[in-house]
Amino acid sequence: MTSFQENICSAMQPLANDSAAIAMRAYQRDQFEFLGVAAPARRAATMPLIKQLKPASASVLITEAQGLWALPQREYQYIAVDLLARHVRTLSGANIPALLDLALQKSWWETVDALVKVIGSIVRADKAQQSQMDAALHHPDFWIRRIAMLHQLGWKDETDVIRLQTYARQLAPETEFFIRKAIGWALREYAWHNPAAIRVFLAEMGGQLSPLSRKEAAKHL
Contact 9, 71 (CB under 8 A): yes
> 1-90 maps to which CATH number?
1.25.10.90
Question: Average pLDDT in the 174-192 region?
Answer: 98
Q: Where in the chain is the domain with CATH 1.25.10.90?
A: 1-90, 128-220
Residue 131 backbone dihedrals phi, psi, to 5 degrees: -60, -30
Decide if pLDDT at 62 tops 90. yes
Contact 4, 64 (CB under 8 A): yes
What's the pLDDT score for residue 53?
A: 94
What's the CATH architecture for 128-220? Alpha Horseshoe (1.25)
Contact 78, 111 (CB under 8 A): yes
Arithmetic mean of pLDDT over the chain: 97
Tens digit of each residue's pLDDT (9 = 90 or more) over 96-150:
999 999 999 999 999 999 999 999 999 999 999 999 999 999 999 999 999 999 9
**Percent of the chain with pLDDT strictly greater than 70:** 100
Decide if pLDDT at 56 tops 90. no
Neighbours of 204 (CB within 10 A): 11
**Residues contacting residue 195 through CB under 8 Å, at least 6 positions apart:** 220, 221
What's the pLDDT score for residue 86?
A: 97
Q: How confident is the model at residue 216 (pLDDT cuts 50, 70, 90)?
A: very high
Q: Fill in the amino acid letter for 18.
A: D
* pTM confidence score: 0.96
